[in-house]
Chains A and B, each alone.
Chain A
Amino acid sequence: MRWMLCLALCLAGFRIEATELIWKRAPILEQDLARALDLHVEDLCQELGRFSCLSQVHNYALGGHDPFERGQYRPMEQPSQLTTIAFERVIHLSCIKRLDKDIASSQPQVFRHFALNEPLMMIPDTDVSAQITDLYQRFLLRDPSANERVIALTLADRQRFGTRPGRELAQALCLAIGSQLEFLLF
């Protein structure tokens, strides 16, 4: 259900109209994701807690290349099937990293519009909406459209997830908004 909503959000939000889009390749994605989530580059997604997702493990799939150790002198021309999977994973794990920092901090930087440990049923729509706006501004440099806000708010399904902590909603919102193609193509 949540994945379908994520997909709906992607489709609703994909509105770049330029005739030719540019792929935000690994080195730029790394910098821009760090900015969006207010993290240092080295604090972004890491596989096994050791290997950078962006500059090592998924580097090639995300449009980078490693000339020194792998003899890759040119990156891929176009995104492959692996690109979208790697992209979503990088966003997801980086969102979790930011969440962990915000939960541990008395002054959360990104997920600051509702209490992350409170059950969802205690969090009002206005706070969720503020978080949605904040994430759109951080990732996509714009406010959400009315339609996008409505779709994103359906992630806060209190009937089904009312007892779950707010951090799960925050994670879902971060993934759904951050993994839109609009963040990958520009």
Chain B
Amino acid sequence: MKPRVLWSLWVVSCLMGAWQAAAIPLNTRLFCTSYSSSPLCRNGTTVCQTCHTAPPEANLYGRELAGLLLAYPDYDRTPASFQKYLSQALDDAGPLDSDGDGFSNQEEILAGSNASDASSQPVQDPEPDTDYDPELAWRRIHLLFCGTTPGYQAFKAFQSMSQIKQKGELHRQLDRCLRSDFWRYQALPRLADEKIRPNKAIGVEGDPFIIGDYNYDYRLFVYIMSGDRDMRDLLLARYHINAAGDKVESPIPDAPIPGRITVANGQPLQVDRRYGMITTQWFIATNTMFATLPRNTASQAYRAYLGLDIARSEGLYPVSDEPRDVDSKGVKVEACAVCHSTLDPLAYAFTPYVGLAGARQPVGTYAPQRNEWESWTHLFGEPVADLGEWARKAAASDAFKKQMTRTLFRYALGREPRGPQEQKDFDALWQKLPALSYQAEDLVHEIVDTLSFAGRN
């Protein structure tokens, strides 16, 4: 397809999406003004799916709200009119039960369940007599972190121990599991998939093109998430782990593979410009590709390590006078600007990192001549000088603590935290991360001690 046709399609799709999504981020802020304590609200915004199936289609709760809005005689469907009456409509919809599951919309929103899905209901606080069940914990620790249990006889032996001995044994066993091949080579790498987003067709086994070797990313992730390492290194590490498992602190040049078009397969970035997982060659190559302003790279870093998905209206911190539209993509259009006023300032820091378009310089390296936008970078609405400051600020944020805790909590329980008890446990866990020196294994030890993990009535 010709570039001009592609460009036209992009503009049309941007404008259509913009029309459909007009003012939505503002509306989600209004929702969170009414329900500020709801788990559905993060950083003062909620996701589209709170009121929509796929925007602009409303879900059951959204339709309820629409019906209430239409009841106002002067409601004229304009954004201004919508925003004028939304707060009252939210109040009026609160006592109603849109999905007919026996819980009011307000109860569901405050508990973080889906008011449009009868199968999603507020989880009640555990009964006062809920106790920690060491036998359930034993089974779960073995299965989740060792991949299997040692069998019936071992379970009988555990059952025969005193409660005090059982507790010590659980943590000793967990330590053994966290050093097992299952955890390090099977389970842990799978927790990185969403963050690395590998693609075999263009990875180190790609044929004919190899645009990066994501094995470096997996090895770095597993290294940082195991032992007594600090998880903040995911955004701060200046080293890589080679195939032999050794820490390498110098640039690793690309090495052409005969018979393949090897665009990139090393880690050639200068050491003082490295920031863990968000500057690996694969991360830059696969996310930046040919972009002048690497919006995908920034949004993926924001989503993967801070848990903020701009496509879902999460983590919006509009910066005044943004977007500047430095690459002339038409993002100044009002409806595009609501997200791009956050996204573009996030992305400026990535512009000096060479994507696939920089034929004169290896992919993933730092090109000082491309840093004219770098100083305009903002994270969380505040200015940062470059990607180094971006990464340090991100690594110190609550968003990072929550995201890394969520990654392990979700693995351990098979779901996002939901209901008051799990939310309480989750909040206590991420807030404890600094006291745990940001060590993933210590965090897992804390998770298995919670009632969320092994409570039984």
A contacts, CB < 8 Å to B: 17-20, 22-25, 27-28, 31-32, 34-35, 65, 67-69, 71, 73-74, 77, 137-138, 141-142, 186
Once the chains bind, are A27 and B190 in contact (CB under 8 Å)? yes
Contacts of A22 in B (CB 8 A): 140, 143-144, 413-414
Which of B148, B198, B454, B457 is within 8 Å of A35, CB to CB?
B148
Q: How many angstroms between the C-alpha atoms of A6 and B158 in the bound complex?
A: 30
Q: Which of B176-214 contact A (CB under 8 A)?
A: 182, 186-187, 190, 193-194, 196-200, 203
Residue of A nearest to B156 (CB): A141
Between A and B, 15 residue pairs with Cβ closer than 8 Å are A19-B130, A19-B456, A22-B140, A22-B143, A27-B182, A27-B187, A28-B143, A28-B144, A31-B148, A34-B148, A67-B193, A67-B196, A73-B197, A141-B139, A142-B152
Once the chains bind, are B193 and A65 in contact (CB under 8 Å)? yes
Contacts of A77 in B (CB 8 A): 415
Contacts of A27 in B (CB 8 A): 147, 182, 186-187, 190
Once the chains bind, are B413 and A141 in contact (CB under 8 Å)? no
Once the chains bind, are A23 and B147 in contact (CB under 8 Å)? no
The answer to whether the Cβ of B118 comes within 8 Å of any Cβ in the partner chain is no
The answer to whether the Cβ of B126 comes within 8 Å of any Cβ in the partner chain is yes
Q: How many angstroms between the C-alpha atoms of A103 and B196 in the bound complex?
A: 46
Which secondary structure dominates chain A's binding surface? Answer: loop
Contacts of B152 in A (CB 8 A): 137-138, 141-142
B contacts, CB < 8 Å to A: 123, 126, 130, 133, 136, 139-140, 143-144, 147-149, 151-152, 155, 182, 186-187, 190, 193-194, 196-200, 203, 413-415, 454-457
Q: Give the 5 A-B CB pairs with smallest separation, nearest first.
A: A31-B147, A137-B152, A67-B193, A31-B148, A68-B200
Number of cross-chain contacts by CB at 8 Å = 77
Residue of A nearest to B193 (CB): A67
Contacts of A23 in B (CB 8 A): 414
Once the chains bind, are B143 and A19 in contact (CB under 8 Å)? no
Once the chains bind, are B194 and A73 in contact (CB under 8 Å)? yes
Shortest distance between the CB of B282 and any CB in chain A (Å): 13
Which of B136, B182, B193, B194 is within 8 Å of A18, CB to CB?
B136
User: Contacts A65-B190, A67-B198, A68-B203 given: A19-B148 contact, CB under 8 Å?
Assistant: no
Contacts of A35 in B (CB 8 A): 148-149, 151
Which of B144, B200, B413, B415 is within 8 Å of A69, CB to CB?
B200
Residue of A nearest to B155 (CB): A141
Contacts of B203 in A (CB 8 A): 68
Once the chains bind, are A141 and B151 in contact (CB under 8 Å)? yes
Contacts of A138 in B (CB 8 A): 151-152
Contacts of B144 in A (CB 8 A): 22, 28
Residue of A nearest to B456 (CB): A18
Q: How many angstroms between the C-alpha atoms of A77 and B416 in the bound complex?
A: 10
Residue of A nearest to B416 (CB): A77
Given A22-B144, A74-B194, A141-B151, 8 other A-B residues pairs in contact with their CB atoms under 8 A? A18-B133, A20-B413, A25-B414, A32-B149, A34-B148, A35-B151, A67-B190, A141-B155
The CB with the most chain B CB atoms within 10 A, among A20, A27, A138, is that of: A20
Residue of B nearest to A133 (CB): B152
User: Contacts A74-B193, A186-B139 given: A68-B199 contact, CB under 8 Å?
Assistant: yes
Residue of A nearest to B127 (CB): A19
Q: How many angstroms between the C-alpha atoms of A22 and B148 in the bound complex?
A: 14
Contacts of A24 in B (CB 8 A): 143
Shortest distance between the CB of A121 and any CB in chain B (Å): 31
Once the chains bind, are B148 and A32 in contact (CB under 8 Å)? yes
Once the chains bind, are A68 and B198 in contact (CB under 8 Å)? yes
Contacts of A69 in B (CB 8 A): 200
Q: How many angstroms between the C-alpha atoms of A138 and B152 in the bound complex?
A: 6
Residue of A nearest to B154 (CB): A141
Contacts of A137 in B (CB 8 A): 151-152
Once the chains bind, are B456 and A17 in contact (CB under 8 Å)? yes
Contacts of B126 in A (CB 8 A): 19
User: Contacts A31-B147, A34-B148, A138-B151 given: A19-B457 contact, CB under 8 Å?
Assistant: yes
Contacts of B133 in A (CB 8 A): 18
Contacts of B190 in A (CB 8 A): 27, 65, 67
Q: How many angstroms between the C-alpha atoms of A164 and B456 in the bound complex?
A: 44
The CB with the most chain B CB atoms within 10 A, among A28, A77, A137, is that of: A28
The CB with the most chain B CB atoms within 10 A, among A17, A18, A141, is that of: A141
Shortest distance between the CB of A61 and any CB in chain B (Å): 16
Once the chains bind, are A141 and B148 in contact (CB under 8 Å)? no
Contacts of A71 in B (CB 8 A): 199
Q: How many angstroms between the C-alpha atoms of A29 and B326 in the bound complex?
A: 51
Contacts of A31 in B (CB 8 A): 147-148, 182
